[in-house]
Every structure is written in C-alpha cells, then in structure tokens.
Amino acid sequence: MSNPRTEAVKAYLLDLQGRICQALEGEDGQACFAEDAWVRDAGGGGRTRVIADGAVFEKGGVNFSHVFGAGLPPSASAHRPELAGRGFEALGVSLVMHPRNPHVPTSHANVRFFSAEKDGEEPVWWFGGGFDLTPYYAHEEDCVHWHRVAERACAPFGAGVYAEYKAWCDRYFHLKHRNEPRGIGGLFFDDLNTWGFETCFAFVRAIGDAYTEAYLPIVQRRRHVPWSAAQREFQEYRRGRYVEFNLVYDRGTLFGLQSGGRTESILMSLPPQVRWGYDFHPAPGSEEARLTDYFLQDRDWLGLAPDNHTP
C-alpha cells in the first residue's frame, strides 16, 4: 500500500525515533535503549526501543510502528463511520518517559499518519499527534517553558494554532471519572488534513522536533533535586492516574490493541511501579495538594510568562 507520501513520512519517523533516543540516552548517561523489532501477522510491524533502570529514567520507550490492513479498527472509524471497511495504513512514533526522581515530570509525545483507501476513490489521509507533560511536584517555570516551546512550534502555521491545540489537549487528557486533568497539557491534534499534505507534514515535523527542546531543559533543571520516600510514594500514587487514562481513554492504546498490534509495545507506556490508595487526599496546603489545587487546572501558562508572549 506504500506510496511516496507514506515513504516520506516513514523516513522522517524513523529518523525522529533515532534522534530522540540519542538525546535521551545522552541525558541519562547510564542506560541505553534496547531495540526490539517486531512483525505484525496481519501486515506491517515496528521497532520498539525501551530504556530502563537508568540514572534518570526508570522506564521509557520510543516506539515506531507501521501497520496496514483491509479494514480500520473501531477506534479509528468510530468518529468517521464513512471510512469503515476501507483498507488502512498507519505510521507513528509514540514515546513515554517515566523518570525515577519525583521532581522530574513524566512526558509523552506522539506523531502519526493515517491513510484509508478504497478502490476507485481518492485516499483519505490525516495526521495526528502532540506532546503533554505530567508533573508530580510542579514548577511554574517548567510549565511556562513547556508551553512556550509548544507555541513556538505552532507559530509558523497560524496565530490561533497553539491556542486551538492547547485547548484540545486539555480536553483530551482529562480523566472524566476523576474530573481532573492528567497533567499540565501541551498540544493535541487529530484528523489534520485541511492545510494540504506538505503543510500538514511540515507541522508534524515541527511538533516532533520540538519535543526534546521542550523536555530536556526541565529534566536538567530537576534531575538532581533530593527526594524523600514520601515523595516517591506520591509519585507512584499519581502514576496511577496515568495508568487509568491510558487503559480507559487513550485512542492510541485502543487502536493498537484493536488492530492486532504488539501488546508489549503498546503497553510500554505504563510505569514500572504504581500504587492506588483508597480515597487518598494529600494534606491541605502541602506540595502534594498544590499539584491538583493549582497546577492541574487547564491554566493559561503563557499568561504567567514575564513577557506574556513567545520572544
């Protein structure tokens, strides 16, 4: 099913995976990514890269996949029923990094391309992706930096793009059953094809390339902050929210499982240690309480910047 568009996207995604892994390995300084290539029986495969037990990253993965088949799975066609029954091709890089230190946030990023085809009709294609940040002990400086990089990546594509995709991210990464955001957001977009292929592809490259610029300065700023056993327990408790979102709501997880993807690669995003406590509430006025009381509020982080705009 591959065509020049798909091959161009695939080449970029494989290169992106390599560059991100190299940057994260360099930051960790101890652990390296192990690679696991896999083949999907129904068509396609992927390249899973996982890092574990590092100086900074307790567990993380940067996965590339390219799968295709005769019909879109329900998670992909539920909001586009007119595409049901079409052959499909899906490519993407998806990553999640779970640091050991509770003061270093968890990060997630994803960029992907879908094409749905039917004999005698034009292919229907779209891009999706974004990146978001999940802190445990949050800092305004980090939140502003994360969103400033996101705004800068969006700026060449229109004045309202960052605001639109920031709001979409806030809506998407929301745990309805908890009535709280998963983190402090970032960018999220899907079904992107309105600008034409070349511009949409350029936008996706801008977002993919911005991830390390957004994340690594935060890691460098917080990786050496001392932490206690109690802070580690709180991190594990908040990681439970991450698991709940990924298993209940995440469209990428559902697509991977419904399309017969590789389960180990799909569930790579889950943290290595996590806890749930019955009806747990942090002490009022504590750092832990401030996470939900102040930071997890779908806030306008750029409004807190000294210059109130991206330079």
Output the known binding site for substrate.
94, 110-112, 260-262
The residues, any chain, with a CB within 8 Å of residue 218's CB and separated by 6 or more, are 104, 105, 133, 142, 145, 146
Continuous segment of H or E residues that includes residue 27: helix 4-28
Which residue among the candidates 79, 108, 139, 174 is catalytic per the annotation?
Answer: 108
Question: Taking CA 138 as the corner, what is the angle to CA 137 and CA 141, rounded to the nearest 5 degrees?
Answer: 145
Tally the residues of the chain. Answer: 311
| C-alpha to C-alpha distance for 65 and 261, rounded to whole angstroms | 9
Q: Considering only CA atoms, which of 152, 144, 208, 167 is closest in space to residue 15?
A: 208
- From CA 258, how far away is CA 263, in angstroms rounded? 10
Told to judge if 224 belongs to the known catalytic residues of this protein, a careful annotator would answer no
**Nearest alpha carbon to residue 72 among 84, 58, 60:** 84
* Number of alpha carbons in the 13 Å side-chain half-sphere of residue 57: 29
CB 170 within 8 A of CB 298: yes
| Amino acid at site 294 | Y
Going along 53-123, which residue ranges are E strands?
57-69, 87-99, 106-117
Give residue 147's identity as a one-letter amino acid code: H
Q: What crossing angle do the helices spanning 197-222 and 140-154 adopt, rounded to 10°? A: 160
- Cite the annotated binding site for a divalent metal cation by residue number: 98, 108, 147, 177
Beta bridge pairs of residue 186: 132
Residue with tokens 């990681």: 239
Q: How far apart are the C-alpha atoms of 136 and 244, rounded to whole Å?
A: 16
Residues tagged active-site: 108
